[in-house]
Chain A
Amino acid sequence: MSKSTFDKSIDIVLNFISNPLKRKADDISNSEIQQEQQPSQHNIQRHKHYYKKQQRKPKQQLNKVQHSSLNSNSTYSGSTPNSYFNFDFKKPESLLRDIYRYSIDKLSIFAKTYIFDSNNSIQNHIRTPLKRKPEDIKNRIQYKLSKPNLNLKYIRIQSINNSPTPNKRYQNIRMIDNDNNNNQQQQQQQQQDLNSSRNVKHSKKEDINSLNDNQQENEIIEIIDSDSEQEENIDSTSNSNNEYFESKSTKLSNIDSKRLQANKAKNRYSIENLVKSYQNTLKLNSDSNTASTTANNVDSSAYKYTQSLNYPSKYGNSDYLNSSYSTPQFSKTLPYHTNSGTKSNLISPIKSRDDSSFLSDSNISSGELKLSDLDTSVYSLYQSPKSTTTTTTTAQSDRASVIRNLRPKVEELDLKGSLLDDFRDKLDIERQKTRDTETNSLLKKLDDIHKSNKYSILKQLNERIELEKNAKPQAKQTTPEEETIIKDTLKGNEQDVVSKIGTLAITKYDIKTLNPGKWLNDEVINFYMELMKQRQAENPGKYLKCHFFNTFFYPMLCNNNGTYNYDRVKKWTNSIDIFSLDKIIIPIHLGNHWCLAAINFKAKQFEYYDSLLGTGGDCIPKLKKYVADEMNNRSKKGIVDLNEFKSIFPKDIPCQSNGYDCGVFMCKYADFSSRGLSFTFTQKDITLYRRMMILELINKKMN
């Protein structure tokens, strides 16, 4: 092969791979992924069944069973590709799975690769994408059928014929793997590679195949077309023997038919080769039992590895892929993959990729110990293309440099084995880079999704916190201007009235009770209650509907001597209906102490707040009686059921730590209570609150 053709084909492969890679990101959130979940579930069920069967039998026996099922049912005839396989399972996927199993047994990850792709494409082409994005598919297949692919094929054949050394093989496979469209070719090539590496008796057939390869170049795809013409109208779920080819053809039937017709013959050859190679492998499998013992180990790793290999060309079909060819581990995680839609598609590729690199490495080392010499060569084969392929997929961004790296190395590999290690190191670095970039892009996508989610709990929480912040009265330092206002106001005669609301007037003397360390008098508190009334009237809806009794209500109710006399306060509520309100706020004066009682009609409870945590004696019972009498007096009997009312004496409220602040505490209880807030202030805030209350009284406006 000439260097120029080599370069050219690599270029083309990279080109092709870069396209699906770009498209993958766009399609990741597409709804077609969900539509493909159903078939994948179906497959999983079948697969589970299959796997159970496999587990029940000894592995050696299993090998034989598989072998017979494939081999006995499959017949080969060069002229009619439709009669190739008579397989037990009715779905094309199951055939692929059989092949997949075998290939795993023999550590042929490339067979898996092939299955992966073909299965993927079957799904894609049959189910949705053709309907949704015919242009994409068409372009893709046109590309596939274009000349460069044939060149690639040619390169591979040449190398096999000339030197079937591992290094040469490695080079070929790398390119094959990159070409995700030529599934059949890949399969065939891989099998051939394996066979030749093992020097088995079927090498003759293989030679024949490879001899034909030159002719295949121009004929492979024609056969596909003939299939498509014949079976275009056949239901893909029918029980015909040719289901695999059906689906393949159905997929292609939507493409330019003229092109397909021209390429008909080619496909026939490739299929023939495929069958041959499979038969070879099957016999190989039955021959070497040692390999099957490690089959399960390699199974998972190889599977994951395959996934990572094909990831760029998957078009976001990880759901389907995972389920249809899941190892036991994957079938367990199925609900996650199938149910969680877009996110799982975003995440799973990363995960599987990371896993694959780790698992495959470890399994390779363990596998090499167990396997016979014959199989170790396969292992080396298995390792090298893995890294190479990944690199080529990554190289989409920096294609030229990768080519530069690849070509000379590959040539030197024939001479020096040590260079292979260097090469792998480089590839590892490259792979790491790609993984990082892909991870980042996926994370970014996740971020976007998260941002666009308007029902985010965090958002709601933040909003609520903001609301609470706005609602909460802030204890803030008064400004110097405000201080001067206070000073000016308090100058002069103590009996001078500072401000007045209705009949209530507050004098400088009263205001001075708000100075630190002073006891508050009734005037200040009543004025403050009046301010809260006013505030509530000016801002309807912002605060709870409250009525604020003045400080004389309770003494009057108690008839000034601790007894109970409803008549004395009977007329106090002439102008209001307390039962239509949320809360009734009642300042309680106990000799030298201020506390607050509240009748909460909303929460149906009597509340008693004492900054010294007292319970007010018979205060609550009296208030209960008052409510009952009020109901009778206002002829609203039964409007509230007092039996439902609880009495609470909260102990977790802010408390005074001195002998003079209870009045301020009481006012603030009333303030917060009328806002419907919990009491979040502390003794520390009280000095500031005193200052603010002075301002509020002077300005006759509550904050």
Chain B
Amino acid sequence: MSAKEEPGLNNNNGNEGGNAGEDQPVDVKPSDEQINIKVINQANQEVYFKIKKTTPLRKLMDSYCSRQGVSQNSIRFLYDGQRLDQNATPASLGMENNDIIDVALTQTGGSF
């Protein structure tokens, strides 16, 4: 799967965001402070982030957008069907290790 390659890719650039978000391979055991979060985009590509529980998710979102080269306005981050609040933290949402954040494209429609 191409998804397996991407973590490696992201891992190389992972330190860019400082403590904002860190992409980790799946088998990396996170510390108590950090959890692994899988972001799956509309093309079913998986991106892994390692993030502190108290870090606002805005950093994760910004990081993802910048790395994927997409505008924040063009995608929606969903966690368990709910839109992600930029100020929410994994702790506030009760996220656990290896939880998934879905990325959906904006939708618009009028006819067909």
Given contacts A556-B102, A568-B102, contact A660 B42 (CB under 8 A): no
Size category of the A interface is 35 or more
Asked if A55 is an interface residue, CB under 8 A from chain B, the answer is: no
Closest to B81 in A: A572
Size category of the B interface is 20 to 34
**Alpha-carbon distance A559/B44, docked complex (angstroms):** 8
Which of chain B's residues have a CB closer than 8 A to the CB of A518?
A: 110
Asked if B65 is an interface residue, CB under 8 A from chain A, the answer is: no
B79-91: contact bitstring with A at CB < 8 Å (1 yes, 0 no)?
A: 0111111001000
Contact across chains for A522 and B84 when beta carbons are under 8 A apart: no
Which of chain A's residues have a CB closer than 8 A to the CB of B104?
A: 552, 555-556
* B110 partner, pick from A504, A561, A569, A661, beta carbons under 8 A: A661
**Alpha-carbon distance A659/B82, docked complex (angstroms):** 30
The smallest C-beta distance from A566 to any residue of chain B, in angstroms, reads 13
Contact across chains for B82 and A522 when beta carbons are under 8 A apart: no
Asked if B108 is an interface residue, CB under 8 A from chain A, the answer is: yes
The smallest C-beta distance from A384 to any residue of chain B, in angstroms, reads 88
The smallest C-beta distance from B106 to any residue of chain A, in angstroms, reads 6
Closest to B100 in A: A568
A140-148, A417-425, A590-598, A600-608 - interface stretch: A590-598
B54-80: contact bitstring with A at CB < 8 Å (1 yes, 0 no)?
A: 000000000000000000010010101
The smallest C-beta distance from A339 to any residue of chain B, in angstroms, reads 64
Contact across chains for A521 and B44 when beta carbons are under 8 A apart: no
Which of chain B's residues have a CB closer than 8 A to the CB of A37?
A: none
Closest to A571 in B: B80
The smallest C-beta distance from A391 to any residue of chain B, in angstroms, reads 82
Asked if B18 is an interface residue, CB under 8 A from chain A, the answer is: no
Closest to B77 in A: A503
Asked if A663 is an interface residue, CB under 8 A from chain B, the answer is: yes
* A594 partner, pick from B78, B82, B100, B109, beta carbons under 8 A: B109
* A521 partner, pick from B84, B108, B111, beta carbons under 8 A: B108
Asked if A236 is an interface residue, CB under 8 A from chain B, the answer is: no
Which of chain B's residues have a CB closer than 8 A to the CB of A573?
A: 81
Contact across chains for A549 and B81 when beta carbons are under 8 A apart: yes
Contact across chains for B110 and A520 when beta carbons are under 8 A apart: yes
Contact across chains for B76 and A593 when beta carbons are under 8 A apart: no
Contact across chains for B112 and A593 when beta carbons are under 8 A apart: yes
Asked if B43 is an interface residue, CB under 8 A from chain A, the answer is: yes
**Alpha-carbon distance A526/B83, docked complex (angstroms):** 10
* A503 partner, pick from B42, B88, B107, beta carbons under 8 A: B88
Contact across chains for A589 and B109 when beta carbons are under 8 A apart: yes
**Alpha-carbon distance A503/B79, docked complex (angstroms):** 11
Closest to B93 in A: A503
**Alpha-carbon distance A556/B104, docked complex (angstroms):** 8
Contact across chains for B102 and A590 when beta carbons are under 8 A apart: no
Closest to A588 in B: B109
Contact across chains for B44 and A561 when beta carbons are under 8 A apart: yes
Contact across chains for B83 and A592 when beta carbons are under 8 A apart: no
Which of chain A's residues have a CB closer than 8 A to the CB of B80?
A: 571-572, 574
